[in-house]
Amino acid sequence: MSNKWHLFSLFGIAILGIVFGSFFDLQINQAIYSVNNGFGIAMSAFGCLPVYIGLSCYGAGYFIIGLKQKNMWARIGLIILGIIAIVASIYFQADMIVSVNAFNIQDMFWYVGIPIGIVIAGLGCWLGYHLFIRFENIRQLLIILLIAPLVLLMATLVVNITKGIMCRPRFRFLYTYASTMSDYRNWWETGTSVKDAYINTMGAASEEFKSFPSGHTATIFSLIPFLVYLPKINEKYCKYETILFYIGLIWILLVAFSRMLVGAHFLTDVSFGLLIGVAIFTCFDLVLFNKKTLKEKEQL
């Protein structure tokens, strides 16, 4: 990413959210909670849609690069990678639409979720074809096509491992099940005892103990590398780099707010989700796009 100050601004937003939320998490959710809010539900279902369009777009890019490879195994490997990216795009968007965190229609996964996922993946493949078909620097394109999915994969792993360890109760669970907020847990406190008590005595779903950190926010952060690397793919987007970045940032903040609105997360949850995405992306960007690395790759 050419303007590193953008990354510093993201770090700053995440840290401010963590500090402020550490004192006012519960009060913020109590003030804005609206479980049936249409905007919140729609963003829960489709907030990460740009990421899944980008993932299938990159899947088409793997196909294009693969078909240009002379080595048979490289060709096969890249085509398989493209298929995996497109299938993942379809599956995760479909799952997000029907999940309890969105429209809560899990029995409609194959009849509603998958068809919508296929349409979204098809749009991404169409964009990928038009973006990458004439790109000549194959090595640089391959780096670009790998970095955003890697950020998405690593962020997902970190978030899910942390969720399993912390077991923080969601606000909507506390509001529904608890007569008081005594079972509320700060982000640094584990909710294992609360989870065990409610699952064993009231049959609460384990999904209600995955508040910290926010998976939606970490996932949607992958939109940033999709957007900010467009100028590296097509020079006509260079003058729009800052605009693209802030479009992505505004969308991330809207997704984060929507997750708080429906009681799925607290401010610290979405702030840590953002921080995880920023940290992982920064590491990949510094390694793969520093001047020394690019110079060595040009000499290959």
Q: Give dist(CA 56, CA 87) in Å, integer.
A: 8
Residue 179 pLDDT level (bands cut at 50, 70, 90): low
| Residue carrying structure tokens 């406190």 | 189
pLDDT of residue 268: 98
pLDDT of residue 9: 87
The three-class DSSP label of residue 197 is: helix
109-118 long-range Cβ contacts below 8 angstroms, 24+ apart: 114/90, 117/52, 117/89, 117/90, 117/91, 117/92, 117/93, 118/90
Q: CA 34: distance to chain centroid?
A: 23
Residue 299 pLDDT level (bands cut at 50, 70, 90): very low
pLDDT of residue 300: 38
Least confident of 60-74, 171-185, 279-293: 279-293
Check whether 26 has a pLDDT greater than 90: yes
The b-or-e profile of 58-86 (16+ CB within 10 A means b, else e) is bbbbbbbbbeeeeeeeebeebbebbeebb
| Residue carrying structure tokens 């029995």 | 107
Per residue in 190-247, pLDDT (tens digit) is: 999 989 888 877 767 888 999 999 999 999 888 888 888 887 777 777 788 888 888 9
**136 vs 60, more confident:** 60
- Kindly report the length of the chain: 300
pLDDT of residue 298: 45
pLDDT of residue 293: 47
Residue 19 pLDDT level (bands cut at 50, 70, 90): very high
Both structure tokens of 157? 């792993």
The three-class DSSP label of residue 57 is: helix
Asked if residues 52 and 216 have their Cβ atoms less than 8 Å apart, the reply is no
Check whether 101 has a pLDDT greater than 60: yes
**Closest to 263 measured CA to CA, from 43, 37, 29:** 29
**12 vs 295, more confident:** 12
295 burial level (CB within 10 Å; 0-12, 13-18, 19+): exposed
Asked if residues 186 and 24 have their Cβ atoms less than 8 Å apart, the reply is no
Residue 296 pLDDT level (bands cut at 50, 70, 90): very low
Helical residues (DSSP H) of 68-207, grouped into ranges: 72-98, 114-132, 138-166, 171-177, 192-202
**Closest to 187 measured CA to CA, from 220, 219, 162:** 162
The H or E element spanning position 136 is none
Check whether 181 has a pLDDT greater than 80: no
pLDDT of residue 36: 87
Average pLDDT value for residue range 116-134: 92
Per residue in 30-84, pLDDT (tens digit) is: 999 998 899 999 999 999 999 999 999 999 999 988 988 888 898 999 999 999 9
Residue 289 pLDDT level (bands cut at 50, 70, 90): low
